[in-house]
């Protein structure tokens, strides 16, 4: 990832969240904090939550002044605490329907009334299914990465086996993600008390449409 990408994504988040000066913002899950670190330089009070100690160690090393917390993205303890919340990096795609409802309810609880939530996902059905093939491969430096896909319609679940080949060493790791239509996602947000504001193509100021590379949803707590 180029250093410019987190800055561009932070620019988008700032426009979408419309935070007031010194706003309290929550990054969940935050990973190594690439967005929170950038937004902190713009004067916002940042909190990051993630379930990976390894990622949090990197984030703390980069900025000890930000509040980094170990926790489950579906179990947020706050009530009416944040001016804005965002979930980036396709983490939402790993949640099944029940967990997705739990997470959105937790986000709504953590937001102040009128606060905004921004979520991106590459797993919206209108994005991923039209061009889904059986697999692909690409090269990352001296590493070759193979992916093999299997879609389970009854569960709207996409299983991907990733195989990494580097210096004669081969490792394969499985993953599972869940696809929801944009209509399902809108209804999930509404049930949680989050009113849709707009849907964008992936981090660009263009309306979301069939075949868009990814989905960014902007919603507001009622």
What is the structure's pLDDT at 9?
Answer: 95
What is the structure's pLDDT at 2?
Answer: 83
Those residues of the chain that have pLDDT short of 70 are none
What is the structure's pLDDT at 93?
Answer: 96
What is the structure's pLDDT at 83?
Answer: 98
Beta bridge partners, 43, equal none
What is the structure's pLDDT at 69?
Answer: 98
What is the structure's pLDDT at 43?
Answer: 97
What is the structure's pLDDT at 137?
Answer: 92
Residue (of 126, 114, 132) closest to 185 by Cα position:
126
Torsion sign over Cα 95, 30, 47, 202: negative
What is the structure's pLDDT at 15?
Answer: 96
Torsion sign over Cα 139, 140, 141, 143: negative
What is the structure's pLDDT at 61?
Answer: 98
* Domain parsing of the chain, residue ranges: 4-125+180-221, 130-178
What is the structure's pLDDT at 220?
Answer: 98
Asked: is 4-125+180-221 a CATH 3.40.50.150 domain? The reply is yes
H or E, element range at 98: helix 97-110
Note the CATH number of domain 130-178: 2.20.25
Taking the complete model, does pTM exceed 0.75, yes or no? yes
Residues 160-186: tens digit of each pLDDT? 999 999 999 999 999 999 999 999 999
What is the structure's pLDDT at 1?
Answer: 73
């Amino acid at each position: 990832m180029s250093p410019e990408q987190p800055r561009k994504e932070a620019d988008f988040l700032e426009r979408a969240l419309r935070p007031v000066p010194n706003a309290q913002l929550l990054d969940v899950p935050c990973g190594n904090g690439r967005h929170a670190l950038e937004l902190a330089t713009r004067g916002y009070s940042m909190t990051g939550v993630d379930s990976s100690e390894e990622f949090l160690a990197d984030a703390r090393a980069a900025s000890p002044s930000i509040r980094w917390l170990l926790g489950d993205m579906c179990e947020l303890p706050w009530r009416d605490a944040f001016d804005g919340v965002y979930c980036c990096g396709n983490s939402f795609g790993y949640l099944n329907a029940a967990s997705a409802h739990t997470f959105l309810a937790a986000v709504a609880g953590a937001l102040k009334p009128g606060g905004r939530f921004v979520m991106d996902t590459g797993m919206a059905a209108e994005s991923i299914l039209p061009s889904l093939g059986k697999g692909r491969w690409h090269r990352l430096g001296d590493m070759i990465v193979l992916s093999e896909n299997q879609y389970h319609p009854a569960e709207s679940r996409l299983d991907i086996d990733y195989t990494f080949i580097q210096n004669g060493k081969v490792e394969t790791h499985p993953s599972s993600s869940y696809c929801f239509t944009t209509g399902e996602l809108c209804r999930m947000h509404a049930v949680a008390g989050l009113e849709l504001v707009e849907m964008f193509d992936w981090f660009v100021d263009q309306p979301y449409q069939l075949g868009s590379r990814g989905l960014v949803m902007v919603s507001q707590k009622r």
